[in-house]
């Protein structure tokens, strides 16, 4: 009984927090809770946190199911719903000094470089409520480029304090760990995963963590990637490294999420988009059952468009998670309105949701009043949670839910216009940045803005834009076919054959998989050069149309949020033109040589 009493207090609490939020920081959370809602537990329901709603009655097997059902009721849901994935986890690339790698919404809500830093528990409670309202049940609290300090007593205590705030909302905490920690912290002279002293160090560390946080989720690991330490440093494999950590966590039910984002290691010089398969395929089946291989949706790096990552076809005896990027590192950061659900649905059209045991989303959340920098970037946090709960939901339904809960305007022509803007925004971004399969032609380091001619001799070639389009007087694009780098051979049928043949390769991937003359005729009848110009101009026109839609929406949006979005749309219109003009000018020096 007291369980239910706690729970009902919780509901009232969530009501007050939502009410307390001023407009600028209010997320999609609404407070009009029906006063005749009934909550009931039914232990005969399936053993998960699903719910059944009939009228204003929410039935569930667990307390969390009742909480999830309450928010579903507020969204207007009826009927039964169960979580598709048991792991629905945000990855915060937050550093312990309070900065956020690829964060564009202010500093971290978890960390701060002041030794006197105290947690803002009401802020973290609202974060937890927002996550719970869309079914997110886990969060990794720190950057995958992890500081070894994360495993010191002081930081384990901070993790415990955060875990205590998030726990009532069904959110389990995880941390990213630096594989070299035993050595970096000065406890040992090595971090070799086969060294008994190192194994004992991690077992002792796991015991210390679980003493403080009995329901701790586990570790996320970036190893032997972009300078991070890992098992290769000791001549060991990814499996040796992951399994050592998995053994340490196993007694407590913890998991290891091991990232396949590894390039420039053992397969230096190979086409970068092939290296995850080259690194991991031979290890399939060699990982412990509490190791999950976490891979980005595409084989390169969160581009506006990529083909799906073929590693999902190769690891048939290893549990896998997809890593989606909610923060818009390569999609205009928090300055461009880009709704990402269509990108993630595109991924699921190639990698069926059943292939995975969970999904992770690189968070876009910070201390900015509106949490995500751009009001419409909140829709991407929302969409991640909803797709993690049910990957069969459509981008349109999710956009409609978010708009209705976020803006008070009636679901009128304006809302359908706003929905249309959201649904077209990702394709528009592809068009004005990198159409026809172009990729990674960004400015160095910050990745904001175009630099198609980018080359730095002292940088790895895989960081240089010219490596990704190879434009010259004759042609443009990368030959990744079986007669080129062979990347197409990593795909399962029918995609292997489809992509390998330049005549059947979908034009949206043309310059990703093939090197073609500027004069090649495409389906539209236009040449490659003319087609590029068409897409770049179309992307600019689309953003201009978004600005018109937002003007028309003004009467039904509160002034503060309307103006903040208006300012960003004005920037996005200019930035889309910059992308178009810089890229077409650069490529014209080759295309017009004819």
| For ligand GCW, the closer CB: 65 or 148 | 148
**How far is 242 from 284, CA to CA, in rounded Å?**
13
Does residue 279 bind ligand GCW (CB under 6 A)?
A: no
Assess contact for 382 and 376: CB atoms under 8 A.
Answer: no
Site for ligand GCW in 53-92 (CB under 6 A): none
Shortest CB 262 distance to ligand GCW, Å = 10
Structure tokens at 567: 């300012």
Does residue 101 bind ligand GCW (CB under 6 A)?
A: yes
SS3 of residue 41 by DSSP: strand
Which of 192, 240, 271, 301 is catalytic? The answer is: 301
SS3 of residue 387 by DSSP: helix
Among 89, 96, 144, 276, binds ligand GCW (CB under 6 A): 144
Does residue 301 bind ligand GCW (CB under 6 A)?
A: yes
| For ligand GCW, the closer CB: 102 or 514 | 102
Among 68, 93, 339, 586, binds ligand GCW (CB under 6 A): 93
Does residue 104 bind ligand GCW (CB under 6 A)?
A: no
Assess contact for 574 and 543: CB atoms under 8 A.
Answer: no
Does residue 439 bind ligand GCW (CB under 6 A)?
A: no
Among 30, 61, 102, 424, binds ligand GCW (CB under 6 A): 102
Alpha-carbon distances of 370 from 156, 377, 417, rounded to whole Å: 29, 9, 23
How would you classify the pairing of strands 255-259 and 291-296?
A: parallel
Does residue 145 bind ligand GCW (CB under 6 A)?
A: yes
Structure tokens at 227: 């300078």
Beta carbons within 10 angstroms of residue 404's beta carbon = 18
The question of whether 329 is a catalytic residue gets the answer yes
The H or E element spanning position 537 is helix 528-553
**106 closest CA partner among 333, 264, 392:** 333
The question of whether 226 is a catalytic residue gets the answer yes
Number of residues that bind ligand GCW (CB under 6 A): 9
What one-character DSSP code corresponds to residue 412?
Answer: S
Assess contact for 295 and 323: CB atoms under 8 A.
Answer: yes
| For ligand GCW, the closer CB: 91 or 490 | 91
Count the residues in the chain. Answer: 594
| For ligand GCW, the closer CB: 227 or 555 | 227
**322 closest CA partner among 491, 84, 94, 511:** 84
Q: What stretches of 231-348 show up as alpha helix (H) in DSSP? A: 238-249, 275-280, 311-314, 341-348
Among 71, 202, 261, 499, binds ligand GCW (CB under 6 A): 261
| Residue facing ligand GCW at closest CB distance | 301
Does residue 390 bind ligand GCW (CB under 6 A)?
A: no
| For ligand GCW, the closer CB: 60 or 220 | 220
Cβ-based neighbours of 462, under 8 Å, separated by 6 or more:
263, 264, 272
The full 3-state SS of 100-158, as one line of letters, equals ECCCCCCCCCCCCCCCCCCCCHHHHHHHHHHHHHCCCCEEECCCCCCCHHHHCHHHHHH
Does residue 258 bind ligand GCW (CB under 6 A)?
A: no
| For ligand GCW, the closer CB: 94 or 401 | 94
Which of 48, 77, 226, 346 is catalytic? The answer is: 226
| For ligand GCW, the closer CB: 261 or 347 | 261
Does residue 463 bind ligand GCW (CB under 6 A)?
A: no
Does residue 401 bind ligand GCW (CB under 6 A)?
A: no
Contact positions vs ligand GCW (CB under 6 A) = 93, 101-102, 144-145, 222, 226, 261, 301
Active-site positions read 226, 301, 329
């Amino acid at each position: 009984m007291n369980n239910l009493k706690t729970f009902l207090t919780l509901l009232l609490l969530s009501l007050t927090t939502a009410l307390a939020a001023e407009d600028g920081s209010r997320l999609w959370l609404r407070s009009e809770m029906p006063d005749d809602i009934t909550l009931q537990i039914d232990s005969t329901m399936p053993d998960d946190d699903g719910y059944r709603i009939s009228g204003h009655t929410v039935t569930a097997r667990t307390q969390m199911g009742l909480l999830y059902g309450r928010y579903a009721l507020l969204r207007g849901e009826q009927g039964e719903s169960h979580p598709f994935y048991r792991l629905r986890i945000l990855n915060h690339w937050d550093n312990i000094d309070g900065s956020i790698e690829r964060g564009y919404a202010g500093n971290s809500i978890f960390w701060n470089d002041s030794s006197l830093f105290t947690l803002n528990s009401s802020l973290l409670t609202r974060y937890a409520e927002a996550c719970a309202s869309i079914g997110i049940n886990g969060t990794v609290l720190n950057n995958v480029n992890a500081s070894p300090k994360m495993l010191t007593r002081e930081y384990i205590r901070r993790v415990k304090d955060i875990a205590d705030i998030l726990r009532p909302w069904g959110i389990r905490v995880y941390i990213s760990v630096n594989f070299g920690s035993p050595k970096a912290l000065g406890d040992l002279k090595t971090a070799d995963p086969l060294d008994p002293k190192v194994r004992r160090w991690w077992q002792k560390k796991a015991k210390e963590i679980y003493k403080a946080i009995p329901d701790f989720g586990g570790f996320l690991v970036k190893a032997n990637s972009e300078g991070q330490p890992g098992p290769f440093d000791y001549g060991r494999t990814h499996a040796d490294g992951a399994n050592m950590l998995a053994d340490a966590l196993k007694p407590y039910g913890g998991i290891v999420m091991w990232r396949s984002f590894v390039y420039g290691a053992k397969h230096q010089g190979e086409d970068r988009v092939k290296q995850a398969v080259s690194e991991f395929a031979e290890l399939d089946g060699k990982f412990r059952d509490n190791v999950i291989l976490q891979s980005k949706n595409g084989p390169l790096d969160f581009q506006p468009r990529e083909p799906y990552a073929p590693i999902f076809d190769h690891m048939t005896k290893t549990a896998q998670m997809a890593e989606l990027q909610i923060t818009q590192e390569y999609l205009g950061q928090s300055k461009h309105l880009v709704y990402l659900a269509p990108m993630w649905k595109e991924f699921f059209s190639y990698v069926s949701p059943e292939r995975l045991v969970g999904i992770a989303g690189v968070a876009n959340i910070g201390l900015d009043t509106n949490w995500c920098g751009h009001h419409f970037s909140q829709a991407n946090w929302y969409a991640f949670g909803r797709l993690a709960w049910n990957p069969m939901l459509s981008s349109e339904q999710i956009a409609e839910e978010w708009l209705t809960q976020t803006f008070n305007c009636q679901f009128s022509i304006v809302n359908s216009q706003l929905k249309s803007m959201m649904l077209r925004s990702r394709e528009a971004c592809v068009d004005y940045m990198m159409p026809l399969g172009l990729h990674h032609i960004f400015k160095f380091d910050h990745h904001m803005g175009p630099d198609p001619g980018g080359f730095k001799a002292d940088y790895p070639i895989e960081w240089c834009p010219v490596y990704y389009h190879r434009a010259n007087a004759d042609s443009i694009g990368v030959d990744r076919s079986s007669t080129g780098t062979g990347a197409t051979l990593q795909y399962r049928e029918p995609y292997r054959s489809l992509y390998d043949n330049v005549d059947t390769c979908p034009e949206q991937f043309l310059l990703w998989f093939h090197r073609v003359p500027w004069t090649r005729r495409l389906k539209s009848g236009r040449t490659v050069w003319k087609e590029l110009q068409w897409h770049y101009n179309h992307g600019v026109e689309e953003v201009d149309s978004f600005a018109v839609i937002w003007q028309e929406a003004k009467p039904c949006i509160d002034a503060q949020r309307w103006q903040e979005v208006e300012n960003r749309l004005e920037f996005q219109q200019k930035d889309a033109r910059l992308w178009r003009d810089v890229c077409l000018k650069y490529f014209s020096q080759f295309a017009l040589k004819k």
